[in-house]
Amino acid sequence: MLTDIALISQVVTLGSERAFSLLVERHQEAVRRFLLRLTSGDAMRADDLAQETFIRAWQGLRSLRRLSGFQTWLFSIAYNIFIDDERRAQASATTRESDSDATTNEVRAYGPDADTVLINHDIDLALQRLSEAERTCVVLQCIEGQSIRDISRITGMNENTVKSHLLRGKKTLADFLLHNGYDRTATTM
């Protein structure tokens, strides 16, 4: 299996669409999951933003300096696109889709498994307690396994700010989960 660096080289030197398609295939899951959490489970919106992320990646692949940090770079594009989209939505005061619509979208994203949909619904419900910055940091660390340094690169915040967002976010989440009896049951709230 070709490494990310080999595929990126093929895209940059030969403009290989096949290599880029392999990169998309390899990283789509992480990017879509990240955006799905940021958009509180709105799969349709997350997919639109993920598509835009990969299109921007295709256009800007030549500007990628740290080849080994391709996924971090994708996350940073996705995060910026999400922030822009949020601002646009706030500016135009567009009403978000209702909870039932979000659940329908989750079914589309995860398949018809009811447990999976409910668990993810719980996760999104819990993450909604956090501020946008806290949610981003927590999702990147706890779900996507990114380091504090990489979170700092992705979001453009300095490392101390990331640490404090993580601390506050985790505390809020833990309190919310305890309050809802999550420590007693391993299943849905």
Partner 1 sequence: MKSDNEILTQFFSEARTPIADDGFTARVMHALPRQARIWHISRINLWLNMATAAASVALVIYFVISQLSHVVAAHHPTLLHDNSSFSEIGTKTFYVTVMHILTRLNTLAEGLQVQLYLYLHRLPDMLPSLTQILALAAMLIILTAYSLSHTQRQGIAKE
**What residues make contact with partner 1 under the rule CB under 8 A?**
13-15, 17, 20-21, 24-25, 28-29, 32-33, 36-37, 47, 50-51, 54-55, 58-59, 109-111, 116, 119-120, 123, 126, 142-143, 170-171, 173-174, 177-178, 182-183, 186
81 or 123: CB nearest partner 1: 123
Residue 116: exposure state from Cβ atoms within 10 A (0-12, 13-18, ≥19): middle
Neighbours of 159 (CB within 10 A): 13
> What one-character DSSP code corresponds to residue 139?
I
Q: Least Å distance between CB 93 and partner 1?
A: 28
State the nearest-atom distance from the C-beta of 2 to partner 1, in Å. Answer: 16
Closest CB to partner 1 among residues 99, 115: 115
Shortest reach from residue 69's CB to partner 1, in Å: 21
| DSSP H/E element including 25 | helix 17-38
Sequence-separated (6 or more) residues with CB below 8 Å from residue 172 = 129, 130, 134
Query: In this complex, which beta carbon is closest to partner 1, that of residue 21 or of residue 156?
Result: 21
Closest CB 17 distance from partner 1, rounded Å = 6
Secondary structure tally for the chain: helices H, strands E: 9, 0
Give 17 or 159: the residue with its C-beta nearer to partner 1: 17
* Cβ atoms 4, 23 nearer than 8 A: yes
